[in-house]
A and B are shown apart, each in its own frame.
Chain A
Amino acid sequence: MTDIAISKLGKAFGGNRVVSDVTMHIRSGEFVAVLGPSGCGKTTLLRLIAGFERPDAGSVRFAGELASSATHHTPPEKRDLGIVFQNYALWPHMSVAENVGYSLKVTGVPANERERRVAEALKTVALDAMAERRPSDLSGGQRQRVALSRCLAARNGIVLLDEPLANLDVHLRAAMEHEFTRFHQASGSTMVYITHDQSEAMALADRVAVMDAGRLVQFAAPSTLYREPATEMVAGFIGEGIVLPAEDIVADGDGRAHASILGSPVQLRCAPGERARRRAAIGLHPQDIRLATANERGLSARIRRLSYRGGSFRAEAVSEAAPETVLAFDLPEQAPLAPGAAVSLAIGDGWVIPALAA
């Protein structure tokens, strides 16, 4: 069992708090993505877990055993974890096989077992033919697979991935995402995947931890993040989210609520404990907005911009009542609308973002 228990972790660089009060429990064998805009502290979190940085406060435990705290520090070389670095960090002076087998050599695994495990790991990522090549002779995708097989051969209980797709071409990314899933299934390792790309995070992870300004904002399954964002930041960040102000929220006790958005009545989802509120922020997605039918009382807006998305148009409309509110939604290709056209919009779904805990 290699779970990671992070408790109240904090780290500052010269008075600048980069990670503050992060608490999360990553279950053994889980695939967790840490997602956030650049500068949110996700890379520092990874370096704290890896042991490259020492925390100022809080602790990190692997399988119950203390690895990091303000007073205790297990150096990275004693943590038994694997890292896939953004630039792969393959040693240029060693062959592919030597790269993959290095950690086994260091820990004193006998030569014949080492060779067997290296061959096995390279076979898993379909690089067995490249074993004697130098890293410089490989393509970007192949280097990435060598980095992965390095963790496979070491049989690390924990594997950390630091934006591993950032340096790859778009067409390679999909293939590599598949490779990560396969790796996760083959190794059963606990995986922590750092990324700023939400589609990667949503596609790969069992749970996603969203970070903002050094804090853990929400840690939940991808669909929960999408449907039930905990804060306005998450609501706006995930899935082209739109945050709208609503008034007169009345919860009916079973997770449904009704309210008024820019003067139009809407049906919403909310947390079970939600109470009646005068004002709230609502999180929704372009998929939740459509043109109102003739007998619906819609929200009047004006189309500001249309961009073709292949098969449909993405429309940006500005509310007549509040011109600073931009509503994005999809229009079918056949619908003939021009910028400047007046439309009536209906909101089909939305999530009442919980009030900030006092």
Chain B
Amino acid sequence: MIVSKNVSLIYSDKTQALVDVNLDISPGELVYITGPSGSGKTSLLKLIMGIESPTTGTLSVLGKSINDSGMMGIRKIRRSIGPVFQEFKLIEGRTSLENVMIGMRFLGIKPKQMKAVANETLENVGLGHKKLSKVENLSWGESQRVAIARAVARKPSLILADEPTGNLDYDNAINILKLLKSFRNDNTTVIITTHATHLIKDEQEATFIRVDNGRITIERRYR
């Protein structure tokens, strides 16, 4: 699913974001990437999404090399990823339903089917009643659920959620994590970055990647 060998990332301003990262994430894994702010969590997600390329080392995502893929190849990889961005990146002026559908529009799905899936997904995240609301009129939590619905409606092989618990109170954060975890199955890997380790300390079926100053340590907890 995701394999990296000796990956380093240095930004153009010479900031060293990641150092010698070696990863091997299998399909269906639940992965938490933890670490303090600025440790390199988001940089790791950027590499996986092909927003950045490794400065050194090799990285493949969903069986495709990020190093060797051109922009077309990167976009193909992204079509199999369901991203939940920290700032959601919902498109204003559109309804929740339209925002969910926009993630599926270029996947060759018929409009009727697309609408049905979007409706169903919004129901699943508890926002069926807000499907026709413009996203700028939604609360923070509701917007986040729309972002999650957009990510999962397209049945991705990999769900990437960047700090989904960032601005939530404990109960809502736990609920969002539960929701994200519910989409994991044999074919779908879920990767969540968070600096709130207290929310996941009791997790027994997951892989934990701790990032500190760009270096990672991996712990796999499986009963």
A and B part of one assembly: no
